[in-house]
Structure 1
Amino acid sequence: MRRASVIDSRISGKLASGAMPITATVVGLVLGVAIFLSVWIASEDSEADQAFRATVAYQNGVADLMSSIQDAEIGQRGYLLTGDELYLNPYNVAMASLDNIIDKLAEVDSTPVQTSNIAALRSLVAQKKSELQQSVELRRLDEPASIALMRTGQGKILMDGIRAVIHQMKEDGVAQLATRLEAVALGKRRMQTLLVIFAILAGGLSILVVRATVTRAKAAEKTRDELLGHADRRLMAVMAADLVGYSRMMEIDEADTLNRLKSARHGIDAIIEDHSGVIITTAGDSIVAAFSSALSAIDCAIEIQKHLGMQNIDRSENDRLRFRIGMNVGDVIIDNGDIFGDTVNIAARLESISEPGGICVSRSVRDHVRKHRKLKFEDAGFQRVKNISKPISTFRVYAED
C-alpha cells in the first residue's frame, strides 16, 4: 500500500507539472493576439494621424491660396490707380505662386469632393490671373482703358466665384477634419480597451500560474512525505550537490547568475525526479537528494553533470556553472520528512572535496554500483573530513566514453 501511495503522489506531481506547459502555451497565445492587435491598432492610428495632418495641410493651403489671390488683386489695383511699379512687387510674387499652391492642394487631398472643388478653383484662378494680367498690361498703354476694364466688374465676378469655392472647400475641410479627429479618438479608445482586456487576461493567467505552482509544490511535498515519512531508519543513497564559485559569480552579476542558476536547477530537479529521487533540502546553490537505490543515484549524478556540460559548452572557463557532487550510501534517520545521520554528513563532505564538475563517492557507493555500471572509479585515497572521526575511502567517478 505504501508503494502505491508513493506512485500516486508522483503521478499527481507530474500532472501538476504538466499544467505548466499548458499555461505557458495559453500565455503565449494571449501575448501573440495582443501583439497582433497592438500592431493593427497602431497601424490604424498611424493612418488616422496621417489623414489628420493632410487635412490640416489642406486647410493651410486653402488659406495661403486666398491670401495670394488677395495680394495679387491689391497689387493690381494699386498699380492701376497710381501707375507706381512698386505695387507690382507683391502682385508678381502672388501671381507666380498661385499655380504651385493649387498643385500642392491637389496632392494633399484627392477625395472626390475636393478634387471637384480644386478643378473648379483652378479654372477660376486661371481666368482671374488672365484678367489681372490684361488690366496691368493695358495700364502701361492706356490708363483710362485699364480703369474702364476694372469698372466692368469682371474681376469682382471672378473673385466672388473664387471666394465661394474656397468657402465650400473650407467647410468640406472642417467636416473632414472632424471625421478624422473622431478616427484618431476611436483608435485611442481601442488601444485603451485592449490594454484593459490584456490586463484582465494577464491577471487571470497569473492566478493560474500561481495555482499550478502551488499545486506542484504540494504534490512534491506529499511525494517526499510519502517516501520518507513512514519509517524511522532506512538504507538510502544520498547525493549532495553545490555550485562552485557561487559567491564570486553573484558579486560579478547577480541577475545573470540567478537566472542561470534557476535554469540549471530546473533541469537538475527534473533529472532527479526522472531517477525516482526526492529533493530533501535546497539552500540557494546547494541540493540534497535521497534515492532508494545507489544505481539510481549514480545514474542521476552522471546525467546531471552531462546536462550541465552541455549548458556550459559555449561559455568561457571562468563563466561556467559547475557543480560538485558527493554521494554516500547507508542508514539514515528519517524525521518529519527530513533525513539525518553520518550518511548525509559524509555525502556533504565528499561534495566539498569533489572536483568542479566532478563526482566523488564513498567506497560503499563504489561497491554497490561497479558491477552494474560501466564507470571508471579513480581511487582518491582516504580523506579526513570535518566532524567525521574516521578517514573515508573516496573515489572519483567518470563515465566511460
Structure 2
Amino acid sequence: MNFVEELRWRGMLHDIMPGTEELLNKGMTSGYIGFDPTADSLHVGSLAQIMTLIHFQRAGHKPFALVGGATGMVGDPSGKSQERNLLSEDVLQKNLAGIKAQLEKFLDFDCGANSAQMVNNYDWFKDYTFLDFIRDVGKHITVNYMMAKDSVKKRLEGEGMSFTEFTYQLVQGYDFYYLWKNNNCALQMGGSDQWGNIVTGTELVRRKGAGEAFALTTQLIKKADGTKFGKTEGGNIWLDAEKTSPYKFYQFWLNTSDEDAKSYIRIFTLFDEETIRSIEAEQDAAPHLRMLQKALAKDITIRVHGDAAYEKAIKSSGFFFGNTDIEFLNELNSNEILALFDGVPNYTINAADLQQGINVIDLLAAHTSIFPSKSEAKKTIAGGGVSINRNKIAVEDVISPAVLINGKFILAQKGKKNYFLIIAE
C-alpha cells in the first residue's frame, strides 16, 4: 500500500514537502502526529489524524503519537482567536492517560518493527531550562521567520498574542528535532493548519542538526454547509462513551448529509475504493435507505465503541419507531437512557412518594405537568390515549416502584408520538 496515494484517493492530502514521497518509497519511515491533551478524551475532530496514522502504519511505516504534555501547558495559537487557559500538571496527566487508552484502540502497539509508539514531550522538556532552550534552539530560528507564519500574523492583527504563544512554534519545532535525533522520525504530519509549525521543525532539523526532515498535512474536515465538523448544539462529539453515548455517537454519523457522507466514508473508514463505490451505487439507486450513512455510522461506531455498543445504538435508534421492546431499556445505564431521551420533555418526582403509590391521574397532572388538569388527564386516559412504559392504563391505576425502569425511570406516552420521561429521585 502506497501511503501518499491512499491519502490522495481518499481526498485527505493537502500539502506535502518535496522529497516526502521518495522518502516513503525507500522503505519503512518513522513519522509522528501530535495530539492536544486539553481534555481526557479525543473527539471526532481528532479522527482524521488518527486515520492518517492508521494508514501510515498499514503502509508499513512506524507511527509515533505524540501527546503534548509540555505544549499543552503553552497552547497552540494556530486557528485560535484567543489564548487558551493553561492546564495544571495533574489535569494534564489525567488527560494523557485517557488519550493513550483511546489511541490503543486504533493503532497496533505490538506488531514488530513498525509498532506504534506513544511519546510525551513533557519527558524531554521537564528538565530543559529556559536559558538552555533559548541558547540551543532559539538562536537557530529568526524572529522574522517566526513573524511570517500565518498563525502569528492573524493574531498580531487582532488581539495580539503573548510571548508564551509566540514561542509555541519553537517548542513544537524542537519536538520534531528531538524525535528526529532520538527516534529517527523523519516525517511530521498534521492538519493543514499545522503546516507552519511543522515546517519550523524541518528548519530546526536542517539548521541545528544539519539533517533532513519532511512534512505532510491533511485537509481540515468541514461540512458541506460550511459549519464546523464535529460540533453539535450539545458541543463536541467525544470518543469517550461517558461524554458522548454510543447512541449519540452513532446518530451523529447517521444524520450526516448525503454530500458529507460521500467524503466522510473515504476519510473515516478503511473501506477500499471498490467497496465505497458499491455502497454509493446502492445510495444512488435508493437514496431514502441512506446506505452510505448506515455503513459509515456502523463502521466508526464499532471501531470506537465495539460491537455490543453498536447493537445497543441500533436498538436505541429503533425505539421510537416501535421496533424495540420496552424491556430493552433495562439493558441501558442511566446515562444511556438520558442520552436516548435527550430532547424529550422530562419531569422529576420524589421517589419516596412512589413507595405509597401514586394514582396515575395525580402522577400526570399534579406530580408532573404532562396534562394541564386532572380532568383532561382522566378524559384522555379513559379514551385509551395514555401509556405508561408502553402499556395502556386505566384511570384507577396506581403507579408504584415496580414500574420503574432501571429503578429510576417511567416512560409516559400521550398518543403515538408524544413521549415524556419521568425521573424518580
The normalised TM-score by structure 2 is 0.21
The normalised TM-score by structure 1 is 0.22
The structure with more radius of gyration: 1
- Write 1 or 2 for the structure with the bigger share of helix: 1
